[in-house]
Amino acid sequence: MACFFIRVAGDTSHNNPDEFNSYVENEPPIYPQTYFNYKDDCLKKGFVRIGWPDVGDISKGGKYGSLTDSYSLESYALKPHIKKYLLDFSQVPLKSIILMPDKDNPGDLYIGEVSSLYKYLHDVPNEQYECAHRLGVNWDKEIDGNPKLYKASELSIGIVGGWWMRAFHEIKNVKITRALDKARS
């Protein structure tokens, strides 16, 4: 079983009208703040996203479909580890397990299974530009149909430092993957 940690909250400059080369008209404004958390959209619409939308469609070599011209997959503005995040994210296989933390509530996690492969989708203002890189996910649900909330502490996952701080990480720790299997059964 492949298992991935994907953070859906962080900072952006795409919603700042003062940044003409990276502002997307009709994108829901975050300005003057740059922080966003797309956890609720991901849970409601059944996907997980990763940032850096201006790279464009990775499956088509990049820049295809991007709305601004602030960086590309090959630009110096994009650090090597971010390029790796994006390339690896675009290759996540079906049935992989996704752990999505709620950055606003440290230690809270949502877990689901990848149901559709990578796609690049935005339809501003209906589908945010910041959510263009996405995977379809069937999120674990409670009996009442609401998303099931897991606690990192109950899964023996430390939330201080390490991969918890990254935007994307494949989890290969057998202790954690076993704890996930047990919690989800």
Q: Which domains can be identified in the chain, with CATH numbers?
A: 3-184 (3.10.590)
164 and 5 Cβ atoms separated by less than 8 Å: yes
110 and 6 Cβ atoms separated by less than 8 Å: no
Size of the chain, expressed as the number of residues it contains:
185
Q: Position 60: which residue type?
A: K
Looking at the chain, the whole-number percentage of residues with pLDDT higher than 90 is 50
pLDDT category at 156 given cuts 50, 70, 90 is confident
pLDDT category at 117 given cuts 50, 70, 90 is very high
pTM: 0.90
For residue 2, the Cα-to-chain-centroid distance in whole angstroms is: 16
pLDDT category at 11 given cuts 50, 70, 90 is confident
Gap between the Cα atoms of 156 and 82, Å rounded: 27
pLDDT in tens, 18-55: 665 666 777 665 555 567 889 999 999 999 999 889 89
Place of tokens 């940044």: 19
pLDDT in tens, 60-81: 987 888 887 777 788 766 788 8
More confident residue, 118 or 9: 118
Biggest CA–CA distance in the chain, Å, is 49
pLDDT in tens, 122-153: 988 888 888 999 999 999 999 999 999 999 99
Rounded to a whole number of angstroms, the distance between the first and last alpha carbons of the chain is: 14
| pLDDT average, residue stretch 166-181 | 91
Question: What number of CA atoms fall less than 13 Å from residue 148's CA on the CB side?
Answer: 16
- Model confidence at 97: pLDDT above 90: yes
* Sign of the alpha-carbon torsion through 158, 162, 166, 172: negative
